[in-house]
Amino acid sequence: MRLSTLQEKVWSCCPKGWKSLSSKCYFISPESRYWNESQKNCSGMQAHLLVINTKEEQDFITQNLNEQFAYFVGLSKPESQRSWQWVDQTPYNESAAFWHTGEPNNPKERCVTINSRKPPSAWGWNDAPCDHPLKSVCEMMKIYL
């Protein structure tokens, strides 16, 4: 980030309707789409599907989600690959993964969702089919003016 002197304000911003946390902006997409269409929808807005780097980031996002729904995030196992891949090339780190108990559980489920399971409001990850339409979350860097 640019250095600021005592007098100089540094302004950072997110598009209207996006949520702001730290250096990122987040958009909860209410439309249901396949995983690859969800990612295209984000990239059409100069964003990408949500990459979860910390539990704090996940907790901030899930405060704004509806427990009735599952949301695609930017983690998948592409056809040719055996390991999980974040859309922005962040290395997949098992110690910063927040899978529900028993997940991932199905090699045919190659796209990751975040959803709430009982006990009340426990948000976690589930591997799910890529070609079932779901809501999603987009993320982009803030812009510094």
In the numeric block, the tokens 């989600």 are attached to 65
Q: Quick check: 22 binds ligand MMA (CB under 6 A)?
A: no
Q: Binders of Ca ion: how many residues, by CB under 5 A? A: 6
Residues 44-63 that bind ligand MMA (CB under 6 A): none
Nearer to ligand MMA, 48 or 132 (CB): 132
Considering only residues 95 through 134, tell me which ones interact with Ca ion, judged by CB under 5 A.
103, 105-106, 109, 126-127
Give Cα 111 distance to the centre of its chain.
Answer: 12
Does 77 interact with Ca ion (rule: CB under 5 A)?
A: no
CA angle 77, 107, 30 (to 5 degrees): 60
Q: What residues have CB less than 8 Å from 26, skipping those under 6 apart?
A: 18, 19, 20, 50, 61, 64, 137, 138, 139
* 131 CB-contact burial (10 Å; exposed 0-12 / middle 13-18 / buried 19+): exposed
Q: Is 28 in the site for ligand MMA (CB under 6 A)?
A: no
Shortest reach from residue 3's CB to ligand MMA, in Å = 47
50 contacts 137 by C-beta, under 8 angstroms: yes
119-138 binders of ligand MMA (CB under 6 A): 126-128
Give the nearest distance from C-beta 66 to ligand MMA in angstroms: 16
Catalog residues that contact ligand MMA under the rule CB under 6 A.
103, 105-106, 109, 126-128
